[in-house]
Amino acid sequence: MANALFPTTVIGSLPRPAWVREVILDRKAGRLSEEEADRLLDRAIESALLMQERAGLEEVTDGEWRRESYVKVFAERVRGFQADLNPSGGLPYPAVVAPIAYHRPIAAQEIEFVRPRTGRRVKATLPAPYIIGRRMWHPEHSKAAYPTREKLMADCVPVLRQEIEAVRAAGADTVQLDEPWLSTLVDPGFREKEGVTDVRYEMDLCADLINQTLDGIEGIETGMHLCHAHFDHKHATEGPYDLIMPALARVRIGTIFMEYATPAAGGLASLARFPEHVRLGLGCIDHCDRRVETPEEVVARVEEAVRYVDRGRITLHPDCGFSPSVQNPMDLDEAYLKLRAMCQAAEMLRARFR
């Protein structure tokens, strides 16, 4: 990272302007060709990059403005999925219907566009194998191709490894695997709703798949993102992360980016059990709260975290992407002001701890 102390990054998505959402949906419906959609999105993404640079971020993304969502991009780009077959949680997801196959880049073309257009660090985001298996395996539609979720998850590993090589070659500085499902397991109500009976098995499976995906990968910083998953400014689950800390201790990775600003995280005390071998990505901006934090409030959150984790191991970021789904409009100005407050807080902290 550029700054030794309190470097700043994003989790991935920025709020998509209404016209960008329309372009994505028109492309999906076949009303716009891929080429025409790219031509329009190229222009939009240039402004998303400038906005992040103005906010003061050291690491940026394309706002995920070419994607319908952080996880569906996998099904759009990898062979074997059919759109909107899986009505999980009321929001339609694709379902796997045939053995999956790497067929074209998932995120590398996003990085190829961004890399020559910014001097800042560039982050590539990819969904992790466990959430792909959870979100996009359907007991009826998928069973001919994959009798179990686990078989689909295992097949995601080589596809993701090939893509990590591709984003590194395209110039990404960091690759982040998004795995909100792991942190949602801390909520007993969610486990019951999802039929999770052996939480230890699920956590170990998730951690093992991350390790298999990243094993031996070099020349790019690695990270994973955890959060309580949210939709329409509401969290899907809540609770402190103590239950999953042993699973995090098993993950071989550079940084674990976690959601801590929201009250849904149950405070920062669970950081007492945060593993010592990884960097902490500290979520210090609440992307569900429309009120823009002051830099002083962010400083106070970070100072509390420093009681548990050495300050030299902390990276700052908002709790989550600002818009995990195309149907989830949020305010782009609000995101800018929140990012700016976070970067101002980082400056204040560097001055204080220098």
Q: How far is CA 208 from CA 55, 92, 128, 205, 330, in A?
A: 36, 28, 11, 5, 34
Distance between CA 223 and CA 278 in Å, rounded?
9
Longest dimension (CA), the chain: 59
Instruction: Select 80 or 129, whichever has its Cβ closest to Zn ion.
Output: 129
64 versus 155: smaller Cβ distance to Zn ion? 64
CB of 145 to Zn ion, least distance (A): 28
Rounded CA separation 10/280 (Å): 14
Least distance between Zn ion and beta carbon 5 (Å): 24
Q: Which is nearer to Zn ion, 24 or 258 (CB)?
A: 258
In the complex with Zn ion, the residue whose CB is nearer, 125 or 142, is 125
CA distance 37 to 109: 14
Closest separation in Å from C-beta 292 to Zn ion: 19
Binding site for Zn ion (CB under 5 A): 180, 227, 320
DSSP string, 198-247: -HHHHHHHHHHHHHHHHTT--SSEEEEEE---EETTEES----SGGGHHH
User: Looking at beta carbons only, is 129 or 180 nearer to Zn ion?
Assistant: 180
Q: How far is the CB of 219 from Zn ion (least distance, A)?
A: 26
- CA 313 from chain center: how many Å? 20
Cβ atoms within 10 Å of 109's Cβ, excluding its own? 17
**Residue 176: beta bridge partners?**
125, 223
Residue of 252, 312, 253, 321 lying closest to 285 (CA atoms) = 321
Question: Position 239: which residue type?
Answer: G
Judged by beta carbon, residue 14 or residue 227, the one nearer Zn ion is: 227
Q: How far is the CB of 237 from Zn ion (least distance, A)?
A: 12
Shortest spacing between CB 321 and Zn ion, in angstroms: 6
Q: Which residues touch 19 (CB under 8 Å, ≥6 apart)?
A: 44
- Give the shortest CB-69-to-Zn ion separation in angstroms: 11
Residue number with CB closer to Zn ion (227 or 251): 227
Q: Residues 236, 288: contact at Cβ < 8 Å?
A: no
User: Which of 315, 254, 307, 312 is CA-nearest to residue 284?
Assistant: 315
Q: Which CB, 166 or 227, lies closer to Zn ion? A: 227
> Which C-beta is closer to Zn ion: that of 37 or that of 316?
316
CB of 119 to Zn ion, least distance (A): 27
Nearest to 272 by CA among 238, 307, 296, 302: 307
Q: How far is the CB of 241 from Zn ion (least distance, A)?
A: 13
- Residue whose pair of structure tokens reads 């801590």 in the numeric block: 260
